[in-house]
Structure 1
Amino acid sequence: MTSLSAYIDDLAGFITASPSSYHAAAEAASRLAAAGFVRRDEADDWSEVDPGRGPGRAGRYYVVRDGAIVAWVQPTGAQPTTPFRILGAHTDSPGFKLKPKPTTGSYGWLQAGVEVYGGPLANSWLDRELELAGRLVTTDGVEHLVRTGPFLRIPQLAVHLDRTANEALSLDRQRHLNPVFGVGDLRQADLIGHLAALAGVDGADVAGYDILTADTNPPARFGLDNELFAAGRMDNLTSVHAGLTALLEVSENDEAISVLAAFDHEELGSQSRSGASGPMLEDILSRIGDDLGATVSERLRAFADSWCVSADAGHSVHPNYPERHDPANLPLAGRGPLLKINGNQRYATDAAGAALWARCSAAAGVPYQEFVSNNTVPCGSTIGPLTATRLGIRTVDVGVPLLSMHSARELAHVNDPFSLSAAITAFFAGA
């Protein structure tokens, strides 16, 4: 997309369509399918469903595993040692997840029993109209996506009843974060039955579910020259969208196999079958190599010549808390994506990765800026070190600078998601 406004509008649409990781994977799959990508089932023998594949044959494919998706473009000239160019991101965001027996309540209020998912900025979720979104799985094993629209709210205690709320707000995760969704007789309420009805299935047939909360306030541009952008789940749907947009522009004549790997469960540490610590990416890269006739040695040669860009949101300098940032490295929203650096390898960037990102940014004609944590502030991490460790593929960490990360509603400058996609497009093109 050459227009910044069109890109931001499309990003807003992607975020709106993706209230959960399962919806994000489904929305990405829908866009890929519309562009001619073919879905692959991991249980199939890919050589049987597409017997003509192999060296010299182009292809555009994707695989969905739960709330994760991996898509790739295999160029016409792909050989057993053709390297991969991988954009890694994650589909999940912090929030709250429904517990078993989720219909609760007291004193006439109906409430949803939830547990904390990841590390949300809990106070930001108070007094917002939230929705429930995710998947129901019926006894026949079929998955049904569902979302409620505005349905719940976590009400804050009035300041008249807590005069210290503005000085020392303390939220007990068990007692204070259960949202309300109505009033009435608890014995007659059935939250899962309501979700099942929305999905068009019988509540008695629902055998399992992965349902999370999402803020329903739509994404918005505002501020001077309409340059600010606020939305939920920008960590990390900005990266998923940027990688998806770039992959859709890849030419099949490029000399590398371009891959989008959008994992689930990063906010929990990535240790799942659809997380970056799991086998999903390695499984698919190995099967691509098998289709190309690669030996183990040739596959390792391909990995040795490959690159992964791990894209995850980062921190812009906060004007009200500048002391929380490194005094010499103060990335500002609107000045380009972050090159994320950590001496203890919480980010995978090294000198070679920094040089790669400089080339990609220059080829795209966009700026970038370095980010490093203040030594007194613990540094988070990303899928970057996990992917580098599991596959031995050179990896660099980048991302869009945000304010209010892990809030129900995060803040960015419109230039930065647009620039990230442009640099990733250059990365896939071989910069």
Structure 2
Amino acid sequence: MADRESSSLFGEMRRMARTSGAVGGIAARITGERVFGIKTDKARHAEDLKAVLGSMKGPMMKVAQFLSTVPDALPEEYAAQLAELQSNAPPMGWAFVRRRMQSELGANWETKFSSFTREAVAAASLGQVHRATLPDGREVACKLQYPDMPSVIEADLRQVKLAMAVYKRMDNAIIQDDIYVELSARLREELDYHREAAQMRLYRIMLDHVPDVNVPEPVAEYTTGRLLTMTWLKGVGFKNWLEGNPSQEQRNALAAALFRGWYIPFYRYGVIHGDPHLGNYQVSESGGLNLLDYGSIRVFQPHFVGGVLELYAAVRDSDLERARHAYDIWGFKGITAEQIEVLNDWARFLYEPLIQDRVRPIQEDGDTQFGRAVAQKVHSGLQRTGGVRPPREFVLMDRSAIGLGSVFLRLKAELNWSRLFHETVAEFDAEALRARQAAALLEAGVPDAQ
């Protein structure tokens, strides 16, 4: 079974045949408009693209979700449609489930459970989830990886590389080479459920004493490279919770839990969850956060985290030289003073709520798309000044900021973000972070962290 599901030429060819029309359509329309002046109905084609990708399992949907959060990685029409993609691909049937469970836990796998649902309770991009009960009474979630995922990953990444290369020739504002490298590395890591289990243990360590943030516990004896079993957390999906018309106080409490759940690991351990997609968490019975998915995790060197705080201080004090130092720490190479001014427009947008010591929404201009107007301004400025090449470490950090900002906007949360931030970064020390990070990674057993 493992050999049949390794990356293969034929597996990649099948996948590319299914996706090349959608990706080729993007390329044709961008090329036609930018080079030949041919106007095309990009909005209509973007809807077609969403329909194609949304019906497919695998990383192409995840890639689309990712690119929709990177400002101007794709034209606005495509980004708006792809942002709506949810992890809702139809689940695999019982025949697949039996084969997968038998290959992972043996022919007598059903005897190892007191109960196991035949129907999937959730379908995601790389796998589906079944609810089960262990002989000791623990309720668990069993995530099964879909078949042939290695070849699916490689085929989809080839298509994404093609689309990004075409767009790069038409638009040089953001040189995306390292974005692709980072995206590829993180997607390939998500194939290893042993790794995800270790990253889940890491989050249990980092968030152990954080109120209103719940992390499931992986069950080692029921976990393999393609099966991840974890304790079941009771909760409700974000959209359904909002439909219940929660109070402003409840909205604020959930927003505070989200902030701490993402940024305590980053500022105290140098670790970030790179996928703030709505399907990756729930609202707990007490109104807190159930964080469910740990496939896309990034570990940073302490100096990189220090660069985030350096840029915060630069924006707060309007200090151009300090901003240059921050971008240098992050690895932006050869940027000019004019480009720093352009990048600082984005930094001011992200940091403004953290600087203002007052209760406020995360964004006050009424725009329903978090940061889109600012991103377009920055994009135009980078085009004018010759473009920049963001370092790969920057990608998931920025994605988390954008993704969480969008969630805070939808929550209509009103908090003193500055106080939350300063509580989180209090007494930051790079060497202390390095020591905490090393100890936590070792205890959790996270492989090849950096």
TM over 0.5: no
Whose RCO is larger (CA < 8 A, sep 6+)?
1
Q: TM-score range by the shorter chain?
A: under 0.3
- The structure where strand makes up a greater share of residues is 1
TM-score normalised by the chain length of structure 2: 0.24
- The structure where helix makes up a greater share of residues is 2
TM-score normalised by the chain length of structure 1: 0.25
